[in-house]
């Protein structure tokens, strides 16, 4: 099994991107998007999780099948969280 040694510049770039996305998440929390606040927050959180898994956990440099599994599972969980959040939101509207 070969190790992938990545340049520090890539790690710093990913770290800066994660920080920027965190700031964007906090900024979006102060903007009234209606029912889309949760959706936007979950999409940003999924992108951050995907970056962590692909680069910091080195999944990007494993087999293509493993990368596809990670991406598909991230999308699956995002859709699951969105469906549960929207189901809760709609039941509150009806009550």
List of residues 6+ apart from 85 with CB closer than 8 A? 38, 39, 42
Q: Half-sphere exposure of 25 toward its Cβ, with a 13 Å CA cutoff?
A: 16
Residue pair 50/74 in contact (Cβ under 8 Å)? The answer is yes
Can you tell me the distance from the alpha carbon of 20 to that of 61, in angstroms, rounded to the nearest whole number? 24
Can you tell me the distance from the alpha carbon of 78 to that of 10, in angstroms, rounded to the nearest whole number? 26
| Lowest mean pLDDT segment, chosen from 7-21, 47-61, 73-87 | 47-61
**Is 66's pLDDT higher than 60?**
yes
What pTM, to 2 d.p., does this model score? 0.66
């Amino acid at each position: 099994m070969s190790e992938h040694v990545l340049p520090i510049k890539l790690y710093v770039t990913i770290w800066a991107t994660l920080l920027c996305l965190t700031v964007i998440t906090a900024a979006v929390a102060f903007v009234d998007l209606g029912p889309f606040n949760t959706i936007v927050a979950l999409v940003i959180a999924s992108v951050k999780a995907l970056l962590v898994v692909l680069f910091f956990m080195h999944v990007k440099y494993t087999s293509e099948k493993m990368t596809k599994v990670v991406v598909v599972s991230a999308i699956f969980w995002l859709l699951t969280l969105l469906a549960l959040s929207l189901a809760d939101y709609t039941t509150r509207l009806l009550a």
